[in-house]
């Protein structure tokens, strides 16, 4: 894929992202049909839509470095063009070394070119090999990384075990999952097979997807006597993303597993309830509000999805940097700060109204009414029409009915 001048033999272009410039495949040259997914057609994977993801990754890594308060080493075992890794090396203060890797020879050479063109050869190293092999080679106590970022095309599950073992005590692991169909319940068997938990096609399925991924990570880490804490998570476009710190010791693993459990959901009246006892899954599955059958999802992570200090540090960094998606990031972080302590799951106003054959009131008005009745009510970044509240489903139906001035048909 490279000519004698060590330049790619396929069409490329230079893009500027963050504080770096990188040579990437010219995607329009690799599509023949309108339905073609250009990033997967190119010789080296590159997705410009993921700039938002990479911007957030820079902020999260900087937040982690500030909390760790020492120089850090970082691994990106699926580097592609190298854009994410060179941004870590160039933009995150306190990074001592970034080890990048790709199994593709074309990606290996292109990432190397990008490292050299940005003058980062003293900080960033590119390796050519299989990701799990690379991570396993860094599993010895004095070789482990402070942070690892796994951003695959599809599921990250096959890399979890080696990624956890390649992190030092207190290290940060970032995971992207793009296989939303299994995680959101379209292909439930695939979700059980990959993530070890049953999904549900509910209106809050994207939150469930995050919790299934976090739960899979928690159980994988626990087998190594390692616990986890989820410090940040988000959903965007076609993927979900979690950031978790790992903590060594059987007690930490046991503490982590205490955050595992199930959720029960009624598709008729939208009642939902959590079950924190991992051994109570066989309990009665009759909805206490309408008497219908409750559907179960899990086991999954019932713990927090954000750490307040971590989010604050990310927010502070976002205001200090010129990022391509700065406005979108600040808007999302503003919402996330309100939902950190909010109840688990959320109601989607449109979905409730549709089931009740009611016109749809404004989300703002529903939130105001809930608060007037002394219920907690917060927005969620998972859905622009979603509301996190401790109000039961019956109260939500009653409020929607009163706001629209109509009777439930």
pLDDT tens profile 166-200? 999 999 999 999 999 999 999 999 999 999 999 99
Q: Tokens 């750490």: give the residue.
A: 307
Greater pLDDT, 263 or 409: 263
**What is the C-alpha to C-alpha distance for residues 82 and 22, in angstroms, rounded to an integer?**
8
- pLDDT of 30 reads 87
The reported pLDDT for the residue numbered 4 is 40
Q: Where are the domains of the chain?
A: 12-308, 346-409
Tokens of 77: 């075992």
| Phi, psi for residue 178 in degrees, rounded to 5 | -110, -5
- The DSSP code sequence of 327-366 is HHHHHHHHHHHHHTTSPSS-EEHHHHHHHHT-----HHHH
Give every CB contact of residue 285 below 8 A, 6+ residues apart in sequence: 264, 293, 294, 295, 296
Per-residue confidence (pLDDT) for residue 189, from 0 to 100: 97
Task: Retrieve residue 34's tokens.
Answer: 């309108």
Give CA–CA dist 209/267, Å, rounded. Answer: 18
pLDDT grade, residue 3 (50/70/90)? very low
Instruction: Provide the pLDDT confidence category of residue 140 given band limits of 50, 70 and 90.
Output: very high
What digits encode the pLDDT tens for the residues 21-55?
A: 999 999 988 887 776 777 888 899 999 999 999 99
Instruction: Read off the pLDDT of each residue in 130-150 and give the average, rounded to a whole number.
Output: 97
> By three-state DSSP, how is residue 409 classified?
coil
Residue with tokens 């106003």: 349
CATH architecture of 346-409: 2-Layer Sandwich (3.30)
Residue with tokens 């402070």: 146
Strand order in the sheet with 383-389: 347-348, 383-389, 377-380
Tell me the CATH number of domain 12-308, given options 3.40.50.150, 2.60.40.650, 3.40.50.10360, 3.30.70.3270.
3.40.50.150
pLDDT tens digits, 220-273: 999 999 999 999 999 998 999 999 999 999 999 999 999 999 999 999 999 999
């Amino acid at each position: 894929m490279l000519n004698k001048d060590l330049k790619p033999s396929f069409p490329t272009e230079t893009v500027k992202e963050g504080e770096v410039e990188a040579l990437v495949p010219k995607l329009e040259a690799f599509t023949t049909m309108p339905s073609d997914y250009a990033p997967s057609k190119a010789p080296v994977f590159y997705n410009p839509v993921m700039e938002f993801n990479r911007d957030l990754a820079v902020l999260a890594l900087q937040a982690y470095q500030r909390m760790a308060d020492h120089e850090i080493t970082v691994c990106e075992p699926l580097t592609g063009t190298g854009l994410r890794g060179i941004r870590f090396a160039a933009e995150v203060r306190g990074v001592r070394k970034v080890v990048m890797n790709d199994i593709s020879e074309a990606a290996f050479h292109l990432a190397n070119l990008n490292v050299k063109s940005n003058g980062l050869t003293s900080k960033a190293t590119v390796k050519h090999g299989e990701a799990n092999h690379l991570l396993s080679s860094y599993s010895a106590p004095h070789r482990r990384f402070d942070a690892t970022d796994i951003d695959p095309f599809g599921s990250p599950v096959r890399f979890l075990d080696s990624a956890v073992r390649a992190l030092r005590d207190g290290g940060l692991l970032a995971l992207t999952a793009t296989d939303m169909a299994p995680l959101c319940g379209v292909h439930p068997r695939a979700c059980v097979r990959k993530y070890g938990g049953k999904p549900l096609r509910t209106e809050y399925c994207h939150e469930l997807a995050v919790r299934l991924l976090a739960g899979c990570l928690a159980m994988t880490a626990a087998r190594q006597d390692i616990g986890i804490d989820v410090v940040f998570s988000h959903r965007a476009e076609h993927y979900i993303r979690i950031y978790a710190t790992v903590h060594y010791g059987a007690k930490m693993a046991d503490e982590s597993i205490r955050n595992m459990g199930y959720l029960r959901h009624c598709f008729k009246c939208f009642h939902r309830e959590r079950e924190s006892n991992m051994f109570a899954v066989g309990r009665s599955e009759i909805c206490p509000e309408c008497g219908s059958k409750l559907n179960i999802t899990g086991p999954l992570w019932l713990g927090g999805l954000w750490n307040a200090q971590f989010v604050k540090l990310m927010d502070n960094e976002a205001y200090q940097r010129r990022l391509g998606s700065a406005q979108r990031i600040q808007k999302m972080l503003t919402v996330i700060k309100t939902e950190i302590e909010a109840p688990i799951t959320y109601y989607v106003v449109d979905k409730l109204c549709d089931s009740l054959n009611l016109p749809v009131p404004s989300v703002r008005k529903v939130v105001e009414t809930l608060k007037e009745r002394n219920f907690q009510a917060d927005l969620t970044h998972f859905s622009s029409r979603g509301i996190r509240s401790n109000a039961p489903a019956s109260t939500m139906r009653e409020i929607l009915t009163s706001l629209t001035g109509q009777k439930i048909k």
